[in-house]
Amino acid sequence: MHDVAALAGVSHQTVSRVLNDFEGIRPETRERVLAAIEELGYRRNLAARALVTGQTQTIGMIGPVVPDIGPLSTLHALERSARAVGLHTMMTSTEPEPAAVRQALEFLLGRGIDALALAAQHREIIAAVEDLDPGIPVVHLLTGGTPAGASASIDQVEGARLAMQHLLDLGHTRIQHVAGPQSYTEARLRADAYRQIMAERGLESLPIVEGDWTADSGFHAADALVADATAVFCGNDQMAFGLLHHLTEKGIVVPRDMSLVGFDDTGEARHSVPPLTTVRQDFAAVGQLAVDLLAAQLGRGVAPAVQILEPEFVARYTTAAPRS
């Protein structure tokens, strides 16, 4: 910086002023400084800057340990959006145990982050972070529920309603739900919504089969379905794929003998055999929303009004009217 100042014939402070877009700099001076910066290939040292300002311009992200495409997509989009407004991101992951969460948080805090994006929907992780109180703005990602603080989510209840409505409209009454792990807020919200909607229609809720999001667990869930179920609302696409596989293997034809609705609309959903009817979640939009929220809290830009995005129903070929 001193070299730049010397070359431009000004003081280091003026260089700093130019860099930080301060007013009260004569255009010609600014040009000289900019030219000197260009010529020397000068790059501002962010460590020194962070030292004196106490801010790192960095958003810390806590993700799940299992590389799920959903949360990962959100985080990926968050990074892009953050970069667009000059913020950096730093990501780490944690197991859902208080000690591990604490360690992950300490890791990020130790590195210096100005805000935290929590993409771990596990209840224990959320609780642990709340407990630790990081002392910086926090936004919860994809929890889908009622936000304690700021949160960027997709409306899970509405998503479940879209899926269920479709099955009900087709005439199904014996609808079963294959849920994700109930330790995940989103899984619980979908399961609750399932029960709620069945009750609203005066229908009997069938036992909820709990999977672990993987296609494998969906495969095994097929064995746990009640005999007279005619449709299954799956907590995510992966489990739907596993279920579809097992049903097909058993000679149960989808959608003739059984209707199936997934959740997420992953890239493969369009090309399963048959293509999966599902509910689309725009994970990337959640990342963008989170950055808007955080940027506002960091004093840049204004907070968006909407914090809950709407899911979208995608009709394909795994649903049909029940056989009478």
Residue 13 makes contact with DNA by CB under 7 A: yes
Cβ neighbours around 314 below 10 Å, total: 18
Nearest to 261 by CA among 196, 319, 190, 179: 319
Residue 244 makes contact with a copy of itself by CB under 8 A: yes
Residue 88 makes contact with DNA by CB under 7 A: no
Kindly state the smallest distance separating residue 260's Cβ from a copy of itself, in Å: 12
262: left (phi over 0), alpha (psi -120 to 50) or beta: beta
Number of amino acids touching DNA (CB under 7 A): 25
Collapse the DSSP code of 160 into the 3-class scheme (helix H, G, I; strand E, B; otherwise coil) and give the result. Answer: helix
Kindly state the smallest distance separating residue 136's Cβ from a copy of itself, in Å: 13
Q: Of the two residues 108 and 179, which places its CB atom closer to DNA in the complex?
A: 108
Say if strands 278-280 and 312-314 run parallel, antiparallel, or are unpaired: antiparallel
* The pair of three-digit structure tokens given for residue 308, joined into one six-digit string: 């809950």
Kindly state the smallest distance separating residue 138's Cβ from a copy of itself, in Å: 18
Residue 305 makes contact with DNA by CB under 7 A: no
Cα separation, 45 vs 196, in Å, equals: 55
The strands making up 175-179's β-sheet, listed across from edge to edge, are 209-210, 175-179, 231-234, 259-261
Residue 90 makes contact with a copy of itself by CB under 8 A: yes
Interface residue with a copy of itself, options 159, 218, 255, 322 (CB under 8 A): 218
Q: What character string, x for contact with a copy of itself (CB under 8 A) and - otherwise, covers 263-292?
A: ----xx-xxxx-x-----------------
Cα separation, 48 vs 6, in Å, equals: 20
| Rounded (to 5) percent helix, strand, coil in the chain | 45, 15, 40
Interface residue with DNA, options 31, 38, 45, 80 (CB under 7 A): 45
Q: Of the two residues 145 and 181, which places its CB atom closer to a copy of itself in the complex?
A: 181
Nearest to 142 by CA among 61, 93, 74, 88: 74
Interface residue with a copy of itself, options 184, 194, 219, 233 (CB under 8 A): 219
By CB under 8 A, name the binding residues for a copy of itself.
43-48, 50-51, 56, 58, 63, 65, 67, 69, 72-73, 76-77, 79-80, 83, 88-93, 106-107, 109-112, 214-216, 218-219, 238, 241-242, 244-245, 248, 267-268, 270-273, 275
